[in-house]
Amino acid sequence: MNLAQILARTARTFPERPALFVGARGVHTYAALAARSARLAGYLRQNMGLEAGERVAIFMNNCPEYLECLYGVLWAGLVAVPVNAKLHPREAAWIIDNAGARLVCASPELAGDLGALLNRADAAQPLLVPGDGHYLRAVSALAIPVQARAPEDLAWLFYTSGTTGRPKGVMLSHRNLLAMTACFFTDVDPVSADDAVVYAAPLSHGAGLYGFPYTLRGCRHVIPESGGFEPDELVGLSRRIGRLALFAAPTMIRRLVERVKAGGADPSGFQTIIYGGGPMYAGDIHTALDVMGPRFVQIYGQGESPMTITALSRAVLADRSDPAWASRLASVGVAQALVDVRIVDAQGRTLANDEVGEVVVRGDTVMSGYWGNPAASAAALRDGWLWTGDMGSMDFHGFVTLKDRSKDLIISGGSNIYPREVEEVLIAHPAVREVSVVGRRDADWGECVVAFVVLEEGAGGVGADELDRHCLAHMARFKRPKEYRIVGSLPKNNYGKVLKTALRRMVDAAPPE
């Protein structure tokens, strides 16, 4: 059950179908992509002497060779360790060492600094760099068949973002990722062979994971010429290529929608836009549907159950005739087909409808544990269930609404305040572009609410008094922020997630006078 059989199967069935593009320029057919992956696999096993189950890191910007390396590693029966290309070389080196990677595939622009760190006597890993002689020999080697792997064998070692400490290596098996692929077809999008998936977000994370369904259907894979997310470029590709699908964080979706709206662009070239990885505020998805139509699907997952906890379908998002549409819009949908999802209390007891507790999930998509970290594995996996650390509720119809990470809960005067509730109110103010809410220690109340607010351009006259009046008009008094900080931007990680840990440090460093 080697995941690389997906590529091998499609290449046998549709060898001349276009597989890989840079912008609108074709690079490989499926036969060519499979052949290069098979030769690379042969080089890793026969020339480099790597054995089944050993790890190969991929520290690359989005480029055509990324898919060659990913499938080549899997084809060889090895374990892919994709590393976010935006990390500092020292951070990447730590992950590579922690994973025990025997070899690193690295982009030319990243290889120099990384190589200097890796080529220490105690941690030497050879580099494969697209374009150099080593890489050219690798993709010209003797091809080998897809190497057999058991369903439970490790396929992908996914390192978490590590915003609260060292990242943890999530162990994802071939079964995990095949189950994720099946869930994509049942819960996200059935996919047509005419579709084209564009990699505007890093291939090391969700965008790369969602490449497998498109390979299975024989779709086109598109690397933007910029290598990343540029709204104008995506709008142009939607016109030139058509039936464009992408996965992106909510902040990216908002930028794309704003561009389409401002330029009056025709959105019909976009087929499916999948969002996840952070909260999409109800007002933002409402605007997105108004501007671009029923092209959106929301997924909620974690690296520990990749992309596969719940989904909010295109049909539900588009059905404004449903009396519950507004609440559906604010949810993350219902449990995906191959998982069980519950809301539980601290003792693991299932809570009643609409009560807030921790989201737990079990199924074939859930990781086997954290690499080399049995204590963290035991804390996250209990009696077959993954404890996500996310707080939420589930209604009678099974729709899950997330509140916040359990660590983000604010307890003020004995009352629970979920930052997202406050953020939803503030983002509805026309002058507010972005907002993030954290707690601050308070001698009288235990904690109080602090709102970091980014204003729209030209809204400089809006201050704390007006924002406070807006909050008082839309929420209970005890939930409103006690402090508003107007800032130029919010600190974010490489995937567009707001770093609340950084905001808390800002609060601690500059308490109110």
CA-CA distance, 331 to 282, in Å (whole number)?
9
User: Which of these, 289, 286, 324, 331, lies nearest to 310 by C-alpha position?
Assistant: 331
pLDDT tens-digit profile of 268-295?
999 999 998 776 788 889 999 999 999 9
Q: Where are the domains of the chain?
A: 5-335, 409-509
pLDDT tens-digit profile of 226-282?
999 999 999 999 999 999 999 998 888 989 999 999 999 999 999 999 998 776 788
pLDDT tens-digit profile of 146-172?
999 999 999 999 998 654 467 899 999
CB 454 within 8 A of CB 487: yes
Q: Which CATH class is domain 409-509?
A: alpha beta
What is the structure's pLDDT at 124? 58
pTM score of the predicted model? 0.85
Q: Based on the number of CB atoms within 10 Å of its own CB, is 376 exposed (0-12), middle (13-18) or buried (19 or more)? A: middle
What is the structure's pLDDT at 321? 94
- Residue 120: pLDDT above 60? no
The CATH superfamily of 5-335 is ANL, N-terminal domain (3.40.50.12780)
Residue 334 DSSP SS3: strand
Query: Whole-number mean pLDDT of the chain?
Result: 92
CA-CA distance, 76 to 144, in Å (whole number)?
8
- Residue 495: pLDDT above 70? no
CA-CA distance, 77 to 44, in Å (whole number)?
10
- Residue 462: pLDDT above 70? yes
**What confidence category does residue 494 fall into, taking pLDDT thresholds of 50, 70 and 90?**
low
**What confidence category does residue 135 fall into, taking pLDDT thresholds of 50, 70 and 90?**
very high
> What are the backbone angles phi and psi of residue 30, rounded to the nearest 5°?
-65, -35
pLDDT tens-digit profile of 332-362?
999 999 999 999 999 999 999 999 999 999 9
User: Which of these, 271, 272, 215, 206, lies nearest to 495 by C-alpha position?
Assistant: 206
DSSP state of 186: I
- Residue 414: pLDDT above 70? no
- Residue 207: pLDDT above 90? yes
- Give every CB contact of residue 414 below 8 A, 6+ residues apart in sequence: 446
Which range of 92-96, 170-174, 471-475 scores highest in mean pLDDT? It is 170-174
b/e for 253-277, b at 16 or more Cβ within 10 A? bbbbbebbeeeebebebbbbbbbbb
Spatial strand order in the sheet of 432-442: 432-442, 446-455, 483-486
Domains 5-335 and 409-509 alike in fold: no
**What is the average pLDDT across 73-87?**
95
Query: At 189, which amino acid appears?
Result: D
User: What percent of the chain has pLDDT above 70?
Assistant: 96
pLDDT tens-digit profile of 210-227?
999 999 999 999 999 999
CB 247 within 8 A of CB 241: no
Q: How far is CA 106 from CA 36, 49, 65, 91, 112, in A?
A: 17, 19, 10, 14, 9
What is the structure's pLDDT at 165? 61
What single string gives the DSSP state of each residue in 6-26? HHHHHHHHSTTSEEEEETTEE
